[in-house]
Amino acid sequence: MAPEPLRPEKALTGGRSVFRLDGRTALVTGASSGLGAGFARLLAAAGARVVLGARRLERVEALVDELQGGGAEALGVRLDVSDDAQVTAAFDAAEARFGTVDTIIANAGTAAGGRSTEVAESAIRSVIDTNLLGTYLVAREGARRLIAGGSREREHGRILFIGSITARQNHTGDAAYAATKIAVAHLARQFAREWARQGINVNTVQPGWIHTGINDEWTRSEQGRAAIAALPRKRLQQPESLHDMVLYLCSDSSRAVTGATFTIDDGQSL
């Protein structure tokens, strides 16, 4: 007898995850590449309707075509998370197509590498506006609509922030990025407390070093290679190592989990 074909959700999660998202509508920010694109594929494979938001709309639309070709329901929207008007417009488009967004992955982020004495003010502002302000605006807009849509009674609101282990470490070259990531983790706890009785769970996942577009130049540099060699397992983390936790925190199974910060870093912060 031929083996059973591997279902998409099993392929994306290493075959272990039991968490399904059927009936959910999810918005993923920073979905044009890297972790965000992976999360969009993950949630779609688990049964969610997925709204993909990013500044690079053409790349998002290519991914939408891919997901729809696999039978998923997906929508691409142009979204600069630091622009409140664009955040509102993205949620408007999502509601018009799929109804209230009940699952949010605030993933959009940027970095400004270099010694703190040399990084330009404009670069610092870009990091703060994208990583912290953008996360705030997206979560706030999502919570407003969830509350209006009856999340208090249904307890179905799920908001997940993507942080970083740099929030727990001190390195030369990423001061602004690290500061925003520890701020994001605390913001999640603040929102979790504020919305606890509104049926909205807010949590943070802190990955270790994963090769993405943000850190591509660093990972190929002499400094980056030396840093990777010094890690306990001497390797970068694989994006798929986050997937089971992400699905759990987006699912109905995580009803009792809010205000938590999960460090999933392949032992890099040991």
Q: What's the number of CA atoms in the CB half-sphere (13 Å) around residue 191? A: 28
206 — phi, psi (to 5°)?
Answer: -110, 100
Residue 124 domain-assigned (yes or no): yes
Residues 91, 177, 191, 195: which is the catalytic one?
177
* pLDDT at residue 13 in the model: 44
Residue 7 domain-assigned (yes or no): no
Question: CATH no. for residue 221?
Answer: 3.40.50.720
Residue 181 domain-assigned (yes or no): yes
Q: Rounded to two decimals, what is the model's pTM?
A: 0.91
Residue 9 domain-assigned (yes or no): no
pLDDT tens column, 165-190: 999 887 767 899 999 999 999 999 99
Residue 187 domain-assigned (yes or no): yes
Domain region containing 123: 19-263
User: Average pLDDT of 1-22?
Assistant: 53
Tell me, yes or no, if 136 is annotated catalytic.
no
Name the residue among 249, 179, 265, 172 with its Cα closest to residue 218: 172
Residue 165 domain-assigned (yes or no): yes
Residue 6 domain-assigned (yes or no): no
* pLDDT at residue 212 in the model: 78
- As for how many domains the chain has, the answer is 1
